[in-house]
Structure 1
Amino acid sequence: MLISLVNELAVILIVAYLITRTKLYIDVIVNKNLNLKNSLILILVFGVFAIYGTINGVQLDNNIIINVRGIFPAFAGLIAGPVVGISAGIIGGVHRYFYLEGGTHLGSAIITILSGLSGGLIYKWNNNKIIGILGAVIFDILLELLHVAINVTLGHFNGMDLWATMKTNMAAMIVVNAVGMAVLMFITLNAIKERATETTKNIMMSELKIAHDFQMSMVPQIFPPFPDRKEFELYAFMKPAKEIGGDLYDFFFIDDRHLCFLIGDVSDKGISSALFMAQCKSITRAIALYEKRTSEEKISSSEILSLVNEEICRDNELLMFVTLFIAVLDTKTGHIIFSTAGHNPPFISEQSGEITCLDTIRNIPLGIKPNITFKEMGFVLKPGDLILLYTDGITEAINKEGQMFREEGVIKTLARTRSYSAEVIVKELVNDVDSFTKEKEQSDDITVLALKFTGCGTA
């Protein structure tokens, strides 16, 4: 008998699981949208389950049926309230009353209807919330005990010792029904949890998308950025490894003659690094533009870095830091002054074909220690020469074999694209990195900035 009940229950639970994956079920359970249509469907579904439980129950003498009929109206009430519960119970109860008349048909019909009603009342008592698994199991055990009591009280058995029969089979019936109720409630609560997790994930992804868009809006993205200036070409690209990253770049005119450009890499990743990046970029630009200068006044990249470092160290409660390379181009002469705070040295691709790594004094990153003096250096770009700034997401890009792109990969790209525009060179470098890593997931932010000095329009 136990095996038959378990087999019957297993079939119903499989179907019940499939139902919990439907949009209607989620709409009722999660969204509490218990409109007329949804209510009628639930009544029909759980009413049919109750009928199936009767038909496939184990029939004993005097048309006594050991079954799992009652858990379905009870469960319907527990998840959708008294109207759905009692209606499903009426379907199952009326069917049981006429299905096999005998000693227990009246009592079984009554308890089936009461199961749905009592389940619905518990739902209302619990402020239209679904009770937990333990509460549902205890509720079902009490129903089964009441089921036995009603049948013993109302039954007519032609001299049969009903109590002895019920006592013999009661344990199996209670266990199977309790397990069935537990599984049904587990499936339902799991569906609610899954939907809550999915909702949370969607909200998080939406917020990350907003944060990503905000971060990208913080860096210049319109190219060419200065279409009226023919002395140079400039192009930049940034691709965070996650939705939001910690790289930054910027470029702006300090005065009509001097172009400031920079690139940086913030420690760590995520929202905190993105906010720190925005702070660093804003502070750097503000300090560089703080005093109105004429083209004859001296501009110091090392002074800019020192002042930025002091500002960052002052309120750096998260102990974050940023590597930064900053340079100022004299657009008339091609002369560049630069300073670096722990950042990768740029590449210089000369018109003659020679490619070198700029000799720099890296110093420590910004935000680690105040009162730091940064070294300022300089060199001259000749017409046709290009300077390439990048973050370590380029050189440390790793392929499936564990090999890194390295500086050698950058040099190969620069050698192949020497005569191209700044925009094409950047795009070719990014494509070469993508081809190198292939399907390997990007592990670090990728940022590149290229400036090619043309000399056009200079005096």
Structure 2
Amino acid sequence: MAIKILSVDDELDMEMLIKQMFRPQIREKKYQFYFAHNGIEALEILRENNDISLILSDINMPGMDGLTFLTKVNDLKAPLLKAVMISAYGDMDNIRSAMNRGAFDFITKPIKFEDLEITVKKTIEHIEMLSRLQHEHDQLLAIQTDLNIAKDIQQSMLPKVSNPFIESKALDLHAFLEPAKSVGGDLFDYFMMDDERLFFIIGDVSDKGIPASLYMAITKAIFKSHFLNKNCGDFCDEVNQINTFLSSDNPSFMFVTAFVGLLYVKTGRVEYIDAGHEPPLIIRKGKGIEVLKKRGGLALSIDGTFTYKSQELFLEPGDTLFMYTDGATDANNSAGERFGLKRIEELIGSMDDTESPKVINDVVRQQLQEFIGSHYQFDDITVLTIRYMGSA
């Protein structure tokens, strides 16, 4: 596409001179020139052609001089439109005034072709650079808009009520997810399968950002569709089927560590599958903190033929199950220190063992934020805490 240039000069032979100077560029359609004889005519041409990139304007003209015209050009608020002013040799006062009013460059009369050609080329290169920067800026804004929408969508997929069992005397529950980027690959979910069983999951996709968020959405959706289905079968069978599905079409070789469980509300029995996830903590009422012994299997979506076997634990009334992703334990501060599981144990151990899951999570979240400080949060942080109060 030709670069459009407006020449403004009251000397009639200027048009002929420019056409002669730039004849090759005009013939090759690199440049397209418009001509005006004063500022008034030039403004009218600019209004009719808003894609003009470069102005070559004389300063001393009748009707509207070049300095007044330059002020009017600035009022157009066109950052990619640049002006090169032309004045008599030695007319430094007007040249200085033009530069102060935003002229990009200047040349003097009598015009030397080489000087004019270099100045035009340099100005066009600057305009093209600004255009590329503006295009990249617009792209970044569009990407950020898309990321914000993706973040809203992802957050909307998480349970909307922090404790849906607020009226229940058997359960208290709270969770949070802090993505390292606008969107992330951590996930959690919980819902009552029926009057007796609470399904819960916490997981961590191997990647970060948009790819991980898409895989997170798929994983969460497939678990929910299986375990909310009235025909849901054996716990292990369902997880095995989900693993086969996730593994069957996985060209990016992502995987998901997960801790998946069913809590039987009447008895406190928890049937769980540890798919390579971080070991939960059990806050035993009046008995301190217990780190659940690892009996885990392979992370999900690595091997579709892997057979998962469930384990069980028992919660007594008043016990709390604290689950987290490795973004919590692996969080670093500016000194390069790792937060670690020990800090989490000490932090929770310093609290009353009757504290609600929300209080526990709020304290852990605050301490993590203070620990990380101004340092970069490099991984998603998710915590899911369930307190069992016993059958109603």
Q: TM-score range by the shorter chain?
A: 0.7 to 0.9
Greater helix share, structure number: 1
Contact residue 165 and residue 171 of structure 2 kept, 8 A: no
After TM superposition, give the deviation of residue 340 of structure 1 in Å. 1.1
Report whether the alignment pairs 1:434 with 2:369. Answer: yes
Partner of 2:389: 454
After TM superposition, give the deviation of residue 224 of structure 1 in Å. 1.9
Report whether the alignment pairs 1:261 with 2:200. Answer: yes
After TM superposition, give the deviation of residue 456 of structure 1 in Å. 5.5
CA distance in structure 2 between the aligned counterparts of 1:239 and 1:185, rounded to whole angstroms: 46
After TM superposition, give the deviation of residue 196 of structure 1 in Å. 1.4
Pair 92,400 (structure 1): closer, same or farther in 2 beyond 3 Å: same
Structure 1: which 4+ aligned runs deviate by more than 6 Å?
Answer: 81-88, 169-172
After TM superposition, give the deviation of residue 397 of structure 1 in Å. 0.1
Pair 91,438 (structure 1): closer, same or farther in 2 beyond 3 Å: closer
CA distance in structure 1 between the aligned counterparts of 2:365 and 2:160, rounded to whole angstroms: 16
CA distance in structure 2 between the aligned counterparts of 1:243 and 1:260, rounded to whole angstroms: 27
Pair 87,352 (structure 1): closer, same or farther in 2 beyond 3 Å: closer
Contact residue 162 and residue 174 of structure 2 kept, 8 A: yes
**What TM-score comes out, normalization by structure 1 length?**
0.63
Pair 171,87 (structure 1): closer, same or farther in 2 beyond 3 Å: closer
Contact residue 276 and residue 296 of structure 2 kept, 8 A: yes
Q: Unpaired runs of 5+ in structure 2?
A: 12-34, 67-79, 85-107
Aligned partner of residue 355 in structure 1, secondary structure? strand
Report whether the alignment pairs 1:174 with 2:113. Answer: yes
Partner of 2:357: 422
After TM superposition, give the deviation of residue 233 of structure 1 in Å. 0.5
Q: State which drifts further: 79-88 or 244-253.
A: 79-88
Contact residue 361 and residue 383 of structure 2 kept, 8 A: yes
Pair 183,372 (structure 1): closer, same or farther in 2 beyond 3 Å: same
CA distance in structure 2 between the aligned counterparts of 1:189 and 1:229, rounded to whole angstroms: 65
Contact residue 345 and residue 359 of structure 1 kept, 8 A: yes
Report whether the alignment pairs 1:375 with 2:298. Answer: no
Report whether the alignment pairs 1:222 with 2:157. Answer: no
CA distance in structure 2 between the aligned counterparts of 1:231 and 1:281, rounded to whole angstroms: 25
Aligned partner of residue 112 in structure 2, secondary structure? helix
Q: Unpaired runs of 5+ in structure 1?
A: 1-31, 33-41, 51-71, 98-111, 113-129, 138-168, 294-298
Contact residue 265 and residue 391 of structure 2 kept, 8 A: no
CA distance in structure 1 between the aligned counterparts of 2:371 and 2:252, rounded to whole angstroms: 35
Contact residue 265 and residue 322 of structure 1 kept, 8 A: yes
Aligned partner of residue 221 in structure 2, secondary structure? helix
Contact residue 301 and residue 326 of structure 1 kept, 8 A: no
Let me know the Cα RMSD of the aligned residues. 3.8
Aligned partner of residue 212 in structure 2, secondary structure? helix
Partner of 1:185: 124
- Aligned letter for 1:188? I
Partner of 1:406: 340
Q: Deviation per CA, 1:334-390, whole angstroms, max 9, x where unpaired? A: 111111111111111111141121113221111111121112111111111111111
Contact residue 278 and residue 324 of structure 2 kept, 8 A: yes
Match of 2:135 among 196, 200, 209: 196
Report whether the alignment pairs 1:302 with 2:221. Answer: no
Aligned partner of residue 329 in structure 1, secondary structure? strand
- Aligned letter for 1:440? H
Aligned partner of residue 278 in structure 1, secondary structure? helix
Partner of 1:444: 379
Partner of 2:77: none
Q: Deviation per CA, 1:206-226, whole angstroms, max 9, x where unpaired? A: 000000111111111312212
Aligned partner of residue 443 in structure 1, secondary structure? coil
Report whether the alignment pairs 1:248 with 2:187. Answer: yes
Report whether the alignment pairs 1:282 with 2:221. Answer: yes
After TM superposition, give the deviation of residue 447 of structure 1 in Å. 0.5
- Aligned letter for 1:421? S
Report whether the alignment pairs 1:234 with 2:173. Answer: yes
The 5-angstrom pairing of residues 30-429 of structure 1 reads 80=46, 92-94=60-62, 173-292=112-231, 300-417=234-351, 418-429=353-364
CA distance in structure 1 between the aligned counterparts of 2:250 and 2:110, rounded to whole angstroms: 67
After TM superposition, give the deviation of residue 405 of structure 1 in Å. 0.5
CA distance in structure 1 between the aligned counterparts of 2:234 and 2:279, rounded to whole angstroms: 19
Partner of 1:55: none
- The structure whose Rg is larger is 1
Contact residue 257 and residue 276 of structure 2 kept, 8 A: yes
Aligned partner of residue 451 in structure 1, secondary structure? strand
- Aligned letter for 1:383? P
CA distance in structure 1 between the aligned counterparts of 2:215 and 2:48, rounded to whole angstroms: 55
Contact residue 259 and residue 330 of structure 1 kept, 8 A: yes
**What TM-score comes out, normalization by structure 2 length?**
0.73
CA distance in structure 2 between the aligned counterparts of 1:81 and 1:192, rounded to whole angstroms: 20
CA distance in structure 1 between the aligned counterparts of 2:381 and 2:375, rounded to whole angstroms: 14
